[in-house]
Structures are given as C-alpha cells and as structure tokens.
Amino acid sequence: MTRFKNHRSEENRFKKWKERDEKFIRMNGLTEDKIKLIYDYDRMIFNSDHRFYEHALQPSDNFLNTYVIMQQQKYQQ
C-alpha cells in the first residue's frame, strides 16, 4: 500500500512538521523571507511525492480484469 493512502492525514502531518520546523528556524534567527522559501520548497516536494504515490503506484482499473482473462486463457489451452 502506498504511503499516501490518506491525503488528509498526510497533510496534517506535513503541517505539524512544518510548524515545529519553522519554530526551530525562527529561534535560530533565519529571516521570514528565507523561511518562506524553505516552506515553498518543502510544499513543492510534498505535492510532488503525493502525486507520485497517489497515481504511479496504484494498480490500473482493469488490472484485475486483465489478470482474470489471462488465467481463463491459460486454462482453456
């Protein structure tokens, strides 16, 4: 099963992680502009990973039908 099986829970996890991350970064003196750049980059990576795991790793809709047809043909021979 894919890591991104539930978008809402992954989104919440990302937000909590970013809140902790940004708090730490602010405490260490990074400017808001740089924090925004880091957030935008992290969001871009999160979205990219989400698209990949959501679409690339899901079996196609007709996978089961294709498998059943292949098995039937195998036994008919």
Is it the case that residue 27 has pLDDT exceeding 80? yes
pTM for this one? 0.63
Buried/exposed code over 24-48 (b: 16+ C-beta within 10 A; e: otherwise): ebeeeeeeeeeeeeeeeeeeeebee
Provide the pLDDT confidence category of residue 5 given band limits of 50, 70 and 90: low
pLDDT top residue among 70 and 8: 8
Question: Which pLDDT does position 10 carry in this prediction?
Answer: 86
End-to-end CA distance of the chain: 34
Question: Which pLDDT does position 34 carry in this prediction?
Answer: 96
Taking only the tens place, the pLDDT of each residue in 28-73 is 999 999 999 999 999 999 998 888 777 665 655 566 666 667 777 7
